[in-house]
A and B are shown apart, each in its own frame.
Chain A
Amino acid sequence: MAQALAVQLEANEQRADYEQRIRLKSFVTRMLGAMAEEDEFVRGLTKSPDDLMAFADATGAAVLYEDRCTLLGSCPEEEHVWNLVNWLVEQGREEIFFSDCLPLVVPNGEAYRERASGVLAISTSKLYRSYVLWFRPEVVQTVKWGGDPRKPVEEQQSGSARIHPRRSFDIWKETVENRSTPWRQAEIDAAGELRNAVIGIVLRKAEELAELSAELQRSNKELEAFSYSVSHDLRAPFRHIVGYSELLKQSKTAQLGPGDTRYLDVIINSAHFAGTLVDNLLSFSQIGRAKINVRPIDMTALVAEVLRDAQLLEKDRQITWRVEPLPAVEGDLMMLRLVWQNLIHNAVKYTRAREEAIVEITGLGLEKETVYSIRDNGVGFDQAYSDKLFGVFQRLHRMEDYEGTGIGLANVRRIIARHGGRTWAEGEVDRGACFYFSLPRRIRGHAEHA
């Protein structure tokens, strides 16, 4: 009878375990599906917090990926979660870790025992501190024992010890703290399965990235070869057109009328212009490829230097410069000099119809970025076209009025973009223009594929 009952019990337990395993498997499958839909797998994992928590029958979960930590449900403070993960790393628990008495094992675990006396953790990367953790709250239990396990020992006068049978079997009550409900083997196994799947995804992503980067390198190489060839081969015919036209103009034997000389001048000018276009396009492409050397820059000094050169060229103009002290910044000196050269050159150029030109340069240090601006009282532009201004070879003025190839602001935008900053402009026809650019406090070199 007793044997039959035992078999029945065991069978019941096995069935329950089996059902749980099936349920957990379906959770894993569902979560993987959600992850596969997202570029960043973490977003997929955190998209349905209920699934993630129910998966391990937890009341809280944390997903740590790269530098970010997403907390779901009832969790310890983020700081504590990071401390816990650091402790896991120190302990070399790099695959899977579980405990139902966390406050007793981890330093300072007392602080969050109410929310997390139990933890189940899997690491999802060998290189980064990348973890998924599940938390279970403390369950304070009163356990009734059939006897005190620390049997009261009575000391006899004789010096020998004696255990009293009655007292040994008194009901003994103990309050169990710092504990959660225990993790079941099925849950631990499923977490391990999830871990393998996530690592698989991470590996696949890494492979895709490596492939992409190889592809990028190849296309950069091609671009380099292309621009090299342009530099050599496209400039040559323009040089020949100008050269032979100038020779023809100077020729003593050619019989050229006054109109013919004008034709020749047009040919020469156009070929010159085409040559300049090629040069500008090349410099534009070089800016996209050149390495950025980030270092601290004294913007006030840089602007003063660029202004000095501009003023030397415009001695006959009356230009009032109002330059405020500018916040310092980090960036590539050569590139930022080019930015100011372009912006200051534009301010000078588009104010030339003004009796007195006024150009104001200001800077403002914000929490995450530094914003600089240059305002002039020149011909301005229609705000409707403000985004076209920064396009390659885009011009808003007729060539006869304001010369140029339309590359200057494109260079400005590209340089600022490569620093991770933004460029924008405000203007009104005939009422001046204001150009802005921002640079982030922390520069991360941005690759350029535009």
Chain B
Amino acid sequence: MQSTLKPIVLVEDNPQDLELTLIALEKARLANEVITFRDGAEAIDYLCCKGKWELREKGNPAVILLDIKLPKLSGLEVLEYINSDPEYRKIPAVMLTSSREEPDLERSYELGVNAYVVKPVSFAEFVKAVQELGGFWAILNEPPPGSIRRGW
């Protein structure tokens, strides 16, 4: 079954948040492979098969989970990049962030974000939120045409 699943891309710079999100994804029992990046620029390199990702198999991830505050390129800038490209625009993007600030929320929706999750303080709630997101974007959603299923 794993061969039919596209990976989940997680962009998070904070190591604790990264670990907790990975545990939450695991607890949510998502079978997708999770590829992690620590800043916005790395994530875009991956998407565009540039730099060290030059030789990766083409295809878009199932979903991109983005923190807003990131080194180099922020989550909003990554979102803007994705939104500006007709091919990448099809990738579901989710903001997974600390910020309750309204301007971030507004800007994210302007840039075509599919969901916006303010990380709750409670870990149990966070697991639940990730579960719902994962269930919706990684498993139930039909992959948009053009995304190649990995088979090995």
Q: Which residues of A contact B (CB under 8 A)?
A: 227-228, 231-233, 235-236, 238-240, 242-244, 246-247, 271-272, 275-276, 279, 282-283, 286
* CB-based contact A227/B101 at 8 Å: yes
Chain B residues positioned under 8 Å from A282 (CB to CB): 100-101
How far in angstroms is the closest Cβ of chain B from A286?
7
* CB-based contact A231/B122 at 8 Å: no
Chain B residues positioned under 8 Å from A286 (CB to CB): 102
Answer yes or no: B23 CB below 8 A from chain A CBs.
Answer: yes
- In the assembled complex, the Cα of A228 lies from the Cα of B74 at a distance in Å of 14
- In the assembled complex, the Cα of A238 lies from the Cα of B14 at a distance in Å of 13
Chain B residue nearest to A227 in the complex (CB): B101
Partner of B121, one of A233, A239, A283: A239
How far in angstroms is the closest Cβ of chain B from A383?
36
* CB-based contact A232/B98 at 8 Å: yes
- In the assembled complex, the Cα of A228 lies from the Cα of B14 at a distance in Å of 17
- In the assembled complex, the Cα of A276 lies from the Cα of B120 at a distance in Å of 10
Q: Main secondary structure on chain B at its contact with chain A?
A: loop
How far in angstroms is the closest Cβ of chain B from A159?
95
Most buried by B among A233, A242, A272, A283: A242
* CB-based contact A231/B100 at 8 Å: yes
Chain A residues positioned under 8 Å from B119 (CB to CB): 235, 239
Partner of A243, one of B97, B100, B123: B123
* CB-based contact A246/B124 at 8 Å: yes
- In the assembled complex, the Cα of A275 lies from the Cα of B98 at a distance in Å of 11
Chain A residues positioned under 8 Å from B23 (CB to CB): 247
* CB-based contact A236/B102 at 8 Å: no
Contact flags (1/0) for B118-150 with A, using CB distance below 8 Å? 011111101000000000000000000000000
- In the assembled complex, the Cα of A242 lies from the Cα of B124 at a distance in Å of 9
* CB-based contact A239/B99 at 8 Å: no
* CB-based contact B123/A236 at 8 Å: no
Partner of A236, one of B98, B120, B124, B126: B98
- In the assembled complex, the Cα of A61 lies from the Cα of B16 at a distance in Å of 75
How far in angstroms is the closest Cβ of chain B from A252?
14
- In the assembled complex, the Cα of A243 lies from the Cα of B69 at a distance in Å of 20
- In the assembled complex, the Cα of A238 lies from the Cα of B20 at a distance in Å of 13
* CB-based contact A232/B123 at 8 Å: no
Answer yes or no: B68 CB below 8 A from chain A CBs.
Answer: yes
- In the assembled complex, the Cα of A282 lies from the Cα of B123 at a distance in Å of 21
Chain A residues positioned under 8 Å from B98 (CB to CB): 231-233, 235-236, 239
26 examples of A-B residue contacts, CB within 8 angstroms: A227-B101, A231-B99, A232-B97, A232-B99, A232-B101, A235-B98, A235-B119, A236-B14, A238-B121, A239-B20, A239-B120, A239-B121, A239-B123, A240-B17, A242-B122, A242-B123, A243-B16, A243-B20, A243-B126, A246-B123, A247-B23, A271-B121, A275-B121, A276-B121, A279-B100, A282-B101
